[in-house]
Amino acid sequence: MAESPLRPFGHEPTAIAAGRVLWVGGIVAALVLIIVAVLYQVVQRDMIPQVARLTEAAAAIPPEPRLQAHPHRDLVALLQQQEALLTSYAWSDSTHGTARIPIERAMAIYVQEERAKQAAAPSTSSAMTQEPRQ
């Protein structure tokens, strides 16, 4: 009976095939060096000149809306502008006699008008209810 190359029983050999390991390691190292050299040439020959040309070209102004350079300052300026509109008197349309008044004053006028309406409303409603009884 011929002995099969695979041993059904037993242990693996303890010796490492150092020659094979060195050959595989050498091949891998050589491939890595070749890849690095090719990539270096591609970067030097193709990519760096393109980057230089792109940075030398004048940058075009992007279309609206553009990003704000100083958003915090812009927000503070906007809030100050809105505050000025809400707290000052000014003509909205002087030809038609329309004016802008401060918001606090407008709210006070509104409250006065509503109180006057509420004060007038009970007297008219009580007069209406008393008339049919007579």
| CA distance linking residue 7 with residue 9, whole number of Å | 5
What are the φ/ψ torsions at residue 67 (nearest 5 degrees)?
A: -70, 150
- Do 44 and 36 contact (CB within 8 A), yes or no? no
Helix or strand or coil: residue 90?
strand
**How many Å apart are CA 115 and CA 120, to the nearest integer?**
8
Indicate if the pLDDT at residue 28 is higher than 80. yes
73 pLDDT exceeds 50?
yes
Q: Report d(CA 54, CA 49) in Å as an integer.
A: 9
H helix runs in the chain, sequence order: 18-42, 48-56, 71-86, 103-130
Tens digit of each residue's pLDDT (9 = 90 or more) over 59-71 = 667 778 778 888 8
Return the CA Rg of the chain: 45
- pLDDT, one tens digit per residue, over 77-132 is 999 999 999 999 999 888 888 999 999 999 999 999 999 999 888 765 555 555 55
